[in-house]
Amino acid sequence: MRKGMRYMTKRRIPLGKIVTAIIVILVLIQAVPYGRNHINPPVLREPAWDRPATRELAMRACFGCHSNETVWPWYSQVAPISWLVQHDVDEGRRKLNFSDWRNGARKGERPEEIREEVTEGEMPPLMYRLAHPQARLSEEQKRELVDGVARFSRR
């Protein structure tokens, strides 16, 4: 060892301090006001569903984020998960809202858009399907849903 050089030693942070810091952060972020004011606006106008089965499939797979009939699960009250849930619902309603149907005025209401999103597995998103097993549709159910949307969109 050369004169004046010292070996650097790694300083370890005790696990207890890390856990305590994480808990303190989780408690503090609960004060952030975003993501827990869950309001379901009134249903203004739904599509003219071609049949009840189409609406039922949309309720199972789409209404969680794409309607004003969102059922807010317990974890939607706990930050930071609540922030993600609120963001997803806000975005979903903005792009496509079955409770404020505008007959194709939104790009997301167009049957070809819905067909593409559903058949390519983009909707419902994987994280939603993992948290909501009822939203997992078989290939036949996906076909029924997109065909039903196409039928009522032509009316």
Spatial contact of 118 and 13, defined as CB atoms under 8 Å apart: no
Task: For 81-103, write each residue's pLDDT tens digit.
Answer: 999 999 999 999 999 999 999 98
Q: How is the chain split into domains, by residue range?
A: 1-155
Name the percent of the chain in helix, strand, coil, to the closest 5: 50, 0, 45
pLDDT of residue 9: 67
Share of the chain above pLDDT 90, in %: 75
Spatial contact of 87 and 119, defined as CB atoms under 8 Å apart: no
Tokens of 2: 């050369």
| Angle, CA of 127, 88 and 126, to the nearest 5° | 15
The mean pLDDT of the chain is 92
Please compute the mean of the pLDDT values over residues 129-135 and round it to a whole number: 96
pLDDT of residue 105: 85
